[in-house]
């Protein structure tokens, strides 16, 4: 079943210097429960696309629908994870996850406890953000977004600031969350390996004006081995897409 439908989406930014065409004729259908990764050169509009889906930017032409309803602004059916965790420094982990939630107190705290287990933060419920590692803080932010039972979770380079070891661990945590909850996820990254490792489909974008160059279905079971021949064939396919037009500004984590 199609959950997210984007049709003829165009986005322009206007300033004193003129008009910048950021997104051009974006067409994308996302099924319920899919894990989509989005990759492209810097400035191609990946983050802008996520903000539009989230309802944080409504100055556009075209259509963005979630579950058949036009996106007209932010709502609890869309969760957004930024590169920085953006936790409240004065609240501990469990209170950060539950912050400003409107469920009855008993139901809220029951679900908070379940999510703490899901994101592997058991034992750190009372810890404050300054006491957490970057990966732990991001796990708390993901749990906070999931508490609202969003129809779609939007992740804008959430592991970009993490070291390689922590990033790899967070990829495993996120996959575990997705496999257990089947929350529809759209994940922006600059890392080719990360896009292939996580995504059921990889959306490849052109440089500005941002448009969809290609969508590659990743027909590999989880867990995926980044060193396998089939994995490397997918990464070469995606690399070739950018090498055709000298747009290779992506993270090549294998050094190829």
Record the pTM: 0.92
pLDDT at 14: 87
Characterize 156-188 residue by residue with b for buried, 16 or more Cβ atoms within 10 angstroms of its Cβ, and e for exposed: bbbbbebeeebbbbbbebbbebbeeeebbbbbb
pLDDT at 4: 98
Average pLDDT of span 207-226: 94
What is the pLDDT of the chain when averaged over all its residues? Answer: 91
Q: Give the 3-state secondary structure of the chain.
A: CEEEEEEEEEEEEEECCEEEEEEEEEEEEEECCCEEEEECCCCCCHHHHHHHHHCCCCCCEEEEEECCEECCCCCCCEEEECCCCCCCCCCCHHHHHHCCCCCCHHHHHHHHHHHHHHCCCCCCCCCCHHHCCHHHHHHHHHHHHHCCCCCEEEEECCCCCCCHHHHHHHHHHHHHHHHHHCCEEEEECCEHHHHHHHCCEEEEECCCCECEEEEEECCCCCCCCCCCHHHHHHHHHHHHHHHCCCCCCCECCCCC
Give tens-digit pLDDT for 86-120: 999 999 999 999 986 655 577 888 899 999 999 99
Nearest CA to 177 among 127, 140, 218, 123?
Answer: 140
Give tens-digit pLDDT for 119-156: 999 999 999 999 999 999 999 999 999 998 999 999 99
pLDDT at 148: 86
Asked if residue 223 has a cis previous peptide bond (ω within 30° of 0), the answer is: yes
Give tens-digit pLDDT for 171-214: 999 999 999 999 999 999 999 999 999 999 999 999 888 999 99
Separation between Cα atoms, residue 171 and residue 37, nearest integer Å: 12
What residues contact 219, with CB distance under 8 A and at least 6 apart?
Answer: none
């Amino acid at each position: 079943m199609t959950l997210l439908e984007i049709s003829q989406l165009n986005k322009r930014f206007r300033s004193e210097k003129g008009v910048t065409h950021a997104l051009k004729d974006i067409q994308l259908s996302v099924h319920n429960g899919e894990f989509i990764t989005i990759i492209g050169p810097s400035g191609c509009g990946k983050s802008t696309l996520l903000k539009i889906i989230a309802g944080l930017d409504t100055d556009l032409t075209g259509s963005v629908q979630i579950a058949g309803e036009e996106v007209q602004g932010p709502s609890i059916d869309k969760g957004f994870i930024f590169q920085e965790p953006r936790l409240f420094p004065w609240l501990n982990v469990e209170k950060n996850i539950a912050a400003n939630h409107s469920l009855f107190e008993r139901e809220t705290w029951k679900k908070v406890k379940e999510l703490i287990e899901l994101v592997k933060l058991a034992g750190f419920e009372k810890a404050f953000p300054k006491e957490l590692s970057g990966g732990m803080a991001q796990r708390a932010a993901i749990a906070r977004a999931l508490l609202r039972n969003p129809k779609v979770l939007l992740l804008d380079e959430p592991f970009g600031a993490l070291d390689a070891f922590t990033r790899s661990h967070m990829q495993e945590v996120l996959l575990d969350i997705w496999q257990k909850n089947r929350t529809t996820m759209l994940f922006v990254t600059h890392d080719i390996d990360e896009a292939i490792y996580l995504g059921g489909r990889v959306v490849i974008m052109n440089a500005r004006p941002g448009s969809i160059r290609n969508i590659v279905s990743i027909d590999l079971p989880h867990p995926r081995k980044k060193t396998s021949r089939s994995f490397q064939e997918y990464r070469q396919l995606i690399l070739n897409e950018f090498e055709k037009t000298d747009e290779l500004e992506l993270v090549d984590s294998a050094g190829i």
